[in-house]
Structure 1
Amino acid sequence: MTQPDTQLPKATVPAVDRPTKPAMLNGYRQKCPNCGEGQLFTGYLKVVDTCAVCDQDLHHHRADDGPAYLTILVVGHVLAILMHVGFTQFRPNPMVFATVLTIVCVALSLYLLPRLKGVIVGIQWARRMHGFGHKA
């Protein structure tokens, strides 16, 4: 009769800690989640393949529709409050009110969309999701 193998698993080198909050803040500022200095985007929403400052690979992010959903969520809640307060307190002309809300909606959406995409890329980098775990 043989005895069962009682060896302990080999010790692994612990991964370098990647704090989520600073990575999210760097993403919101549209900067590299690793160094916080390099640009995250080459255009409005196109993420750079690698950071020009620290050479962090960023091409494997998978933000997909997440930034759009978050933008709709935030803008919808802000506009709902503005509509309620604006209508109950001021009773504006409906066409003026619709025009102002449309402008606020478009402006807020265009402002938030790249920032929320940066936040999602920062979260993915910090949590080592979708290929970000290969480099420390």
Structure 2
Amino acid sequence: MTSSPADRNMKKAMLRGLLGKCPGCGNGKIFSGYIKVNHTCPSCGLELFHQRADDAPPYFTMFIVLHFVVSGILTVEKAFSPAMWVQLVIWLPLSCLFAVWLLPHIKGALIGLQWARGMHGFSGDTDGYSAQQID
């Protein structure tokens, strides 16, 4: 895709990324594995290796999951006051499953944001990176 960052719709790109689709065309998949990003979009050829999500997806995932889990723990404790083991049986597996499910969605949305804003080489500049340096 050769569109400039000014022409890119950020909400649409983030929604496409959230769904695991290419932020440019919305057809190809971003990921080749659980959270391994494709080098290029299989549909439109958009180079995705520029993305630099790094540690942001796990931090955002923990932030969201822990808000729900802590709210749930406090609500259950206030309403029923169960034994500690009951709380652990409920919230440990739930928080792990929710985090595992949410992580690729957040990473995809961040890649969409980077593409829409023209960050890290998505603007057409290489930012000093080449495909050989990334792999």
Same fold (TM over 0.5): yes
Q: In structure 1, what is the Cα distance between the partners aligned to 2:87 and 2:73?
A: 8
Counterpart mapping for 1:83-102 below 5 A: 83-102=73-92
Unaligned runs of 5+ in 2: 126-135
- Counterpart-to-counterpart distance in 2, 1:30 and 1:83: 31
Instruction: Name stretches of at least 5 consecutive residues in structure 1 with no aligned partner.
Output: 1-13
Asked if 1:63 corresponds to 2:53, the answer is yes
Identity among equivalent pairs (%): 40
Q: CA deviation at 1:124?
A: 0.2
Q: Count how many residue pairs are aligned between Structure 1 and Structure 2.
A: 122
Find the partner of 2:30 among 33, 40, 46.
40
Q: Provide Cα deviations, 1:69-120, integer angstroms capped at 9, x if missing partner.
A: 1001001111111011111012222102111100111001001100000011
> TM-score scaled to structure 2, two decimals?
0.87
Q: Say which of 113, 118, 121 aligns to 1:131.
A: 121
Q: Which of structure 1's runs of 4+ aligned residues deviate more than 4 A? A: none
Query: Deviation string for 1:42-87 (max 9, x for gaps)?
Result: 0001000110111111011000000011001001111111011111
Aligned to 2:42: 52
Q: Does 1:116 align with 2:103?
A: no
Larger radius of gyration: 1
Aligned alpha-carbon RMSD (Å): 1.4
Match of 1:27 in 2: 17
- 1:58 and 1:83 map into 2 onto residues whose CA distance is 39
The answer to which of 89-98 and 54-63 deviates more is 89-98
Instruction: Calculate the TM-score normalised by the size of structure 1.
Output: 0.86
CA deviations 1:1-28 (Å, max 9, x no partner) are: xxxxxxxxxxxxx936001001100011
